[in-house]
Amino acid sequence: MKIAFIVGTFPALSVSFIINQIKGLIDRGHEVDIYALDGPSENTSKVHPIVEEYRLLERTYYPPTRPENVLLRRLKTVGLLFANLSKKPWVLLPLLNRERFGKGARRQILFYRAMPFLRRESYDIIHCQFGLFGIIALALRQIGLIEGKLITGFRGYDISRYLQKRGDRVYDELFQQGDFFVTNCEFFRQRAISLGCDEDKIVVLGSGIDCSKFAFTPRYFPADDTVRIATIGRLIEKKGIEYGIRAIAYLAEACPNIEYNIIGDGPLKEHFQKLIAELNVGHIIKLVGWKQQEELIEILDNSHILIAPSVTASNGNQDAPVNTLKEAMAMGLPVIGTLHGGIPELIDDGISGFLVPERDAEAIADKVLYLIEHPEIWTDMGASGRKRVEQKYDMNKLNEQLVDIYQQQLSGVSGLPSRKKKSNAPTSVTPNLYLVK
């Protein structure tokens, strides 16, 4: 099969689930092109090893940069049109329709994002990672810039925060004209159905990890008495890291021999640095920045507990079962997560980890203290976590399911149980004005 992946920024350490899918498809003999509509990552000093091993940048197409200056932008737009005359760029003109595609800035950004598609490639499958890129791909397919079965994946931001920004009807046209949909958890599948997606056109396909790269190690109380705790994630509100910091601060006096490493980077870094200083816990809590997978595995290998304190952000953003949580469970760490989004689908409370309410630092502290005081449960809890990840989130199994979905679409068979269809989709389609973030 010939497959187009339409993504945002690429490559980025935070999109390992996309890289794993691409690797799986290439390993199975399929051809994959990548269209990164938001351009390359700002930080290219650290990339996923698969990006280099599979030379994925040679398969990646980026839109031209868009000047901030209005005059320069207009001049560059004209220049791009002339430079691509042989590719018949006038096919892009419908994208400048104000009534359909909104204000000038939105239309211009869409115009630039469409430039790589002047290659006019025909694909078997167009797989859009995140719903907003499904909207864009649908527009490009409608004007003839790209061909193929359109599959859209919803992953979190696009089915939570994006709805607050653009409204609950933003996906009406996509739900009617898109060929198929996947979500990374049942929580978001039900959200999509409530918005109007035909329940027979959407399935759960979790984000997989390569379990073979995360060796299981039974956890025991450390000989040096220092219990090492980790949290992994972008330093943004949704990850709830503030509550992890406050939880460890509660325990600092009673449990002086703990060490809390927060792996990640993001806009709240300075805020967290100040909070750590205010709570006087800089001696036990460290912000260690982003790490490559090998570095991350080393940190987890030397850790005893992982905290994933995700919360529903003030802008509505929510999480699915995050891959870093799966990786920790695969390595045998007891984990503490929150009753948030799709995380309860991953953690079986009391068996493969613990679940606590969102934004409850004291509840997190209680579970950390319980684990410290009961190290005899670490091994069994870790083994249960490994088993759950192997059963539900093994990358190879999920990549086989992804190929099955593609083939079923090409054969015209959904692969879902036969039942009477119940569609909540609106009967009319409103003009789509929401083609940019």
CATH 3.40.50.2000 fits 2-208, yes or no: yes
Pairing type for strands 305-308 and 335-338 reads parallel
Q: Do domains 2-208 and 211-393 have the same CATH topology?
A: yes
pLDDT score recorded for residue 137:
94
> Does the structure show a pLDDT above 60 at 429?
no
Residue 77's pLDDT band, with cuts at 50, 70 and 90, is: confident
| Mean pLDDT value across residues 97-111 | 70
Exposure letters 199-221 (e unless 16+ CB within 10 A, then b): bbbbbbbbbbbbbeebebeebee
pLDDT score recorded for residue 92:
81
Closest among 371, 273, 268, 255 to 311, alpha carbons compared = 268
- Of the listed ranges 126-130, 307-311, 320-324, 326-330, the least confidently predicted one is 320-324
pLDDT score recorded for residue 45:
61
> Does the structure show a pLDDT above 70 at 80?
yes
| Mean pLDDT value across residues 93-118 | 76
- The answer to whether 18 touches 36, Cβ cutoff 8 Å, is no
Angle (CA) 260-301-250 rounded to 5° is 20
- Of the listed ranges 134-138, 164-168, 186-190, the least confidently predicted one is 164-168
pLDDT score recorded for residue 103:
60
pLDDT score recorded for residue 424:
39
pLDDT score recorded for residue 413:
64
Place of tokens 């509505």: 316
Q: How large a percentage of the chain has pLDDT more than 70?
A: 90
| Mean pLDDT value across residues 226-231 | 97
The torsion angles phi and psi of 218, rounded to 5 degrees, stand at -60, 140
The token pair at 413 is 């068979």
> Does the structure show a pLDDT above 70 at 423?
no
> Does the structure show a pLDDT above 50 at 437?
no
Looking at domain 211-393, which of 3.40.50.2000, 3.90.1010.10, 3.40.50.300, 3.30.2400.10 is its CATH number? 3.40.50.2000
> Does the structure show a pLDDT above 70 at 32?
yes
Per residue in 274-315, pLDDT tens? 999 999 999 999 999 988 878 889 999 999 999 999 999 988
Per residue in 338-366, pLDDT tens? 999 899 999 999 999 999 999 999 999 99
Domain residue extents for the chain: 2-208, 211-393
The token pair at 31 is 């051809």
| Mean pLDDT value across residues 163-190 | 92
- Of the listed ranges 87-96, 115-124, 385-394, the least confidently predicted one is 87-96
Exposure letters 51-67 (e unless 16+ CB within 10 A, then b): beebebbebbbbbbebe
Helix H, strand E, coil C: the string for the chain is CEEEEEECCCCCHHHHHHHHHHHHHHHCCCEEEEEECCCCCCCCCCCCHHHHHCCHHHHEECCCCCCCCHHHHHHHHHHHHHHCHHHCHHHHHHHHCHHHHCCHHHHHHHHHHHHHHHHCCEEEEEEEECHHHHHHHHHHHHCCCCEEEEEEEECCHHHCHHHHHHCCCCCHHHHHHCCEEEECCHHHHHHHHHHCCCHHHEEECCCCECHHHCCCCCCCCCCCCCEEEEEECCCCHHHCHHHHHHHHHHHCCCCCCEEEEEEECCCCHHHHHHHHHHCCCCCCEEEEECCCHHHHHHHHHCCCEEEECCCCCCCCCCCCCCHHHHHHHHCCCCEEEECCCCHHHCCCECCCEEEECCCCHHHHHHHHHHHHHCHHHHHHHHHHHHHHHHHHHEHHHHHHHHHHHHHHHHHCCCCCCCCCCCCCCCCCCCCCCCCCC
- The answer to whether 319 touches 311, Cβ cutoff 8 Å, is no
| Mean pLDDT value across residues 165-188 | 93
Per residue in 1-30, pLDDT tens? 999 999 998 887 667 788 989 999 999 999
